[in-house]
C-alpha cells in the first residue's frame, strides 16, 4: 500500500489559484490542470472563497494599512537615496567631461 503524500501550498499560491477560477473564469478542472494539482482541493478553496470563509485564501495578498504605510515609507526612502546617487553620478560625469576637453589656453 502506498503512503499518501500530503501537499502543502502557500497562501499566495492558494489565492492565485482561486483567482484563476473566480476572477478569470476558468473552470476548476482547467485551473487544476494548469496548476498540476487536485481538482477537489481547488474546488474546496473556491467554494470556501465564494462563501467568504476566511481560510487564508481570500485574505492572502492583502495587507493592513500599517504594513502598506511602512512599505510606502521604505520605498520613499529608497527613492530619495537613488535620486541622490543619480545626482552625484551626473555631477561626476559633467566634471570628467570638462576635464577631458582640450584646453583653450595656450
Fold of the 7-62 domain? Arc Repressor Mutant, subunit A (1.10.10)
Predicted local distance difference test score (pLDDT) of residue 60: 47
pLDDT band at 3 (very low <50, low <70, confident <90, very high): low
Does the pLDDT at position 99 exceed 90? Answer: no
Instruction: For residue 20, give the nearest of 6, 34, 10, 9 by alpha carbon.
Output: 34
Q: Kindly state the average pLDDT of the residues 6-34.
A: 88
Residues in contact with 41: Cβ distance below 8 Å, sequence separation at least 6, in sequence order? 32
- Please give the span between the terminal C-alpha atoms of the chain, in angstroms, as a whole number: 95
Amino acid at each position: 500500500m502506498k503512503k499518501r503524500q500530503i501537499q502543502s501550498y502557500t497562501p499566495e499560491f492558494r489565492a492565485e489559484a482561486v483567482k484563476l477560477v473566480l476572477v478569470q473564469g476558468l473552470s476548476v478542472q482547467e485551473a487544476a490542470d494548469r496548476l498540476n494539482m487536485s481538482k477537489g482541493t481547488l474546488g474546496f478553496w473556491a467554494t470556501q472563497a465564494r462563501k467568504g470563509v476566511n481560510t487564508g485564501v481570500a485574505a492572502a495578498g492583502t495587507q493592513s494599512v500599517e504594513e502598506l504605510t511602512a512599505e510606502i515609507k521604505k520605498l520613499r526612502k529608497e527613492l530619495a537615496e537613488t535620486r541622490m546617487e543619480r545626482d552625484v553620478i551626473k555631477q561626476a560625469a559633467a566634471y570628467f567631461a570638462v576635464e577631458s576637453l582640450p584646453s583653450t589656453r595656450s
